[in-house]
Chain A
Amino acid sequence: MNHSTRRGAIGGWLDSPAGRLTEPLSAAFLGLLLVAVAALPSLLPSQVLLATVLLLGLLVLRAMRPTPETRLACLVLGLFLSLRYLFWRTTSTISYHDLVSFVTAIALYLAELYAIASHVLGMFVNVQPLKRDVVRPVGDPETWPSVDILIPTYNESVEILAVTVSAAIQVQYPSAKLRVYVCDDGGTQQKLSDRDTRKAEAAAQRAASLKKLCDRVGAHYLTRERNEAAKAGNLNSALSHVHGDLLLILDADHVPTTDILEHTVGLFQRDSELFLVQTPHFFVSPDPVERNLGLFERVPSETEMFYDGIQHGLDFWNASFFCGSAALLRRAHIDLVGGISGQSVVEDAETALELHSLGKRSAFVNRPMVAGLQPETCASFITQRVRWAQGMLQILIFKNPLRQKALSFAQKLCYFNSSFFWLFCFARLVFLVAPAMYLLFGCQVYDANGREFIAYAVPHVLASLVVSDFLYGKIRWPLVSTLYEVLQSVYCLKGIIEVLRSPRSPTFNVTPKGETTDQDVISPAATPFWVLYGVTLVALGMGVWRWFAYPEHLDVTAVTMAWELANLYLLHGTLGALYERRQIRQSHRMPANIRASLIVDGANVPCTIRDVSVGGARIEASARDLPVAELMVLRVPVRDRVEPLSCAVQVRHRAKPRGDVVSVGVAFTGADPNAVVALVHGDSGRWMAFRASRRPAAGFLSRAGLIFGASGRAGFRHHAAFSRRMASEAGALVTAGVRRVWKRAAAAYSASSLTPSSSPGGSSAGRPHPHVTQARSTPSAAPTAVG
Chain B
Amino acid sequence: MSKHFALAVAVALVCSEADAQPKPIQPAAEAVQPRAIRTALADLMPEPVPLRLSSTSGEVTVSVAVSPRLALTEATLHLELTNSISLIKERSQIAIVLNGRTLAQLPLNANQPELVADVQIPIELLKPGYSKLTLRVNQHYSTEECEDRSAPELWTEIDVQKSVVTLLGDYRPLSPRLSELGDIMDARLADYPGVNVVTAGDGPLTDAQLRWSALVAQGAAIRLDYRPLRIDHVRAGARAADARPGPGFPGLDQAPLVGRDNILVGTREQLASLLPPELLIEGAYVGLFPLDADPRYLVAVVSGRTDAEVEMAATAFAMASFPYPDDSHTLITQVEPARLTEHSARNTVQSSSVYTLSDLGFRTTTSRGGEDMSIEFHAPADLFGWEDQLIEFRLHLAYAAGLREDSALSMFLNGHFQAAIPLGSRTGGVYRGYRVDIPLRSLEPGRNVLAFTPSLHAVATDRCAPDASDNLMLALFDDSTVLIPKANYFAELPDLALLGQAVFPYAVAPSGSDTFVSVAGRDSATVGAALTLIGKIAQRVGAPLHEAEFSFALPSTGKHLLVVGAVGQLKKELLAAAPLALSANMMRVPHPSRLRLREDYERDLGLLRRLGSAVKDWMAPASQRRRSQGTQVTQQAEVGRRYTIGMQFESPFASRKAATVFTAGDAETLVSGIRVGVVPGVWDVMHGNIVLWRDSPETLVWQRAGSTWQIGQATPVSKTAYYFSVYPWIVIGTVCAIVLLLAWLGRRLLRRHHATRHPGPTPAGGAAGIESRAGAGPDL
Contact = CB atoms under 8 A, between A and B. Distances in A.
Partners in one complex: yes
A691 B774 contact: yes
Contacts of B625: none
Interface in A629-677: none
B725 A46 contact: yes
Contacts of A26: 741, 745
A37 B764 contact: no
Interface in B706-755: 717-718, 720-721, 724-725, 728, 731-732, 734-736, 738-754
Nearest to A71: B766
Interface in B754-775: 754, 757-758, 760-775
Interface stretch (A72-80, A225-233, A387-395, A482-490): A72-80
Given A69-B744, A691-B774, A34 B738 contact: yes
A89 to B, nearest CB: 12
Contact of A133 (B761, B774, B779): B761
A27 B388 contact: no
Given A128-B764, A689-B777, A72 B735 contact: no
Interface in A75-89: 76-77, 80
Given A592-B778, A689-B775, A45 B743 contact: no
Interface stretch (A60-68, A211-219, A505-513, A746-754): A60-68
Interface stretch (A48-56, A562-570, A581-589, A775-783): A48-56
B765 A67 contact: yes
A319 B766 CA distance: 20
A33 B775 CA distance: 43
A645 B426 CA distance: 93
Interface string A28-48: 001101100101111111101
Contacts of B766: 65-68, 70-71, 470
A40 B720 CA distance: 7
A683 B767 contact: no
Interface string B508-521: 00000000000000
A488 B770 CA distance: 28
B486 to A, nearest CB: 13
B770 A312 contact: yes
- Using C-beta atoms within 8 Å of the partner chain, give the interface range for chain A: 35 or more
Contacts of A33: 738
A593 B775 CA distance: 14
A755 interface: no
Interface in A106-131: 127-131
A288 interface: no
Interface stretch (A156-164, A193-201, A471-479, A527-535): A471-479
A689 B778 contact: yes
Given A37-B735, A44-B387, A131-B772, A52 B767 contact: no
Nearest to B768: A66
B746 A692 contact: no
A686 B741 CA distance: 43
B607 interface: yes
A474 B771 contact: yes
A72 B746 contact: yes
Nearest to B766: A66
A14 interface: yes
B770 A80 contact: no
B619 interface: no
B335 interface: no
B611 interface: yes
Nearest to A50: B732
B771 A692 contact: yes
Given A50-B731, A71-B765, A270-B760, A23 B778 contact: no
Contacts of B747: 68-69, 72
Question: Counting chain B CB atoms within 10 Å of each CB, which of A33, A42, A308, A594 scores highest?
Answer: A42
B622 interface: no
Given A128-B750, A132-B760, A470 B742 contact: no
Contact of B778 (A31, A50, A686): A686
B746 A593 contact: no
Contacts of A309: 770
Contact of B742 (A20, A34, A92, A592): A34
Contacts of B14: none
B705 to A, nearest CB: 25
Nearest to B776: A692
A30 B779 contact: no
A594 B780 contact: yes
A686 B780 contact: yes
B387 A43 contact: yes
B742 to A, nearest CB: 5
A320 B772 CA distance: 20
B386 interface: yes
Contact of B771 (A69, A270, A308): A308
A39 B724 CA distance: 11
Contacts of A366: 770-771, 773-774
A725 interface: no
B780 A683 contact: yes
A521 to B, nearest CB: 36
B761 A131 contact: yes
A318 B740 CA distance: 27
A49 B725 contact: no
A188 to B, nearest CB: 41
Interface string A287-321: 00000000000000000000011001000101000
B736 A57 contact: yes
Interface string B383-402: 00011100000000000000
Contacts of B731: 37, 40, 42, 46, 50
A762 interface: no
B3 to A, nearest CB: 75
Nearest to A685: B779
A53 B748 contact: no
B771 A43 contact: no
Contacts of B746: 27, 72, 76, 127
A52 B775 contact: no
B728 A46 contact: yes
A43 B743 contact: no
Contact of A129 (B611, B735, B753, B770): B770
Nearest to A127: B750
B136 to A, nearest CB: 36
Given A27-B745, A30-B745, A691-B774, A131 B769 contact: yes
B775 A131 contact: no
A683 B775 CA distance: 14
Contact of B770 (A34, A308, A594): A308
Contacts of B752: 20, 23
Contacts of B749: 23-24, 27
A187 to B, nearest CB: 38
B744 A66 contact: no
Nearest to B740: A73
Contacts of A20: 752
Contacts of A474: 767-768, 771
A132 B747 CA distance: 19
Contacts of A685: 775, 778-780
A20 B764 CA distance: 23
Contacts of B738: 30, 33-34, 37
Nearest to A93: B388
A529 B765 CA distance: 41
B770 A688 contact: no
A452 interface: yes
Contact of A23 (B740, B745, B757, B772): B745
21 contacts: A34-B735, A34-B738, A37-B734, A37-B735, A42-B724, A42-B728, A45-B725, A46-B731, A50-B732, A50-B735, A52-B611, A66-B765, A70-B766, A72-B750, A80-B739, A128-B754, A131-B769, A308-B770, A593-B780, A685-B778, A688-B774
Given A42-B721, A69-B747, 10 more contacts: A30-B741, A37-B734, A40-B720, A42-B728, A49-B607, A131-B761, A472-B767, A594-B778, A685-B775, A689-B777
Give me the 7 closest cross-chain CB pairs, A-B, nearest first. A66-B766, A685-B779, A593-B778, A72-B743, A73-B743, A46-B728, A129-B764
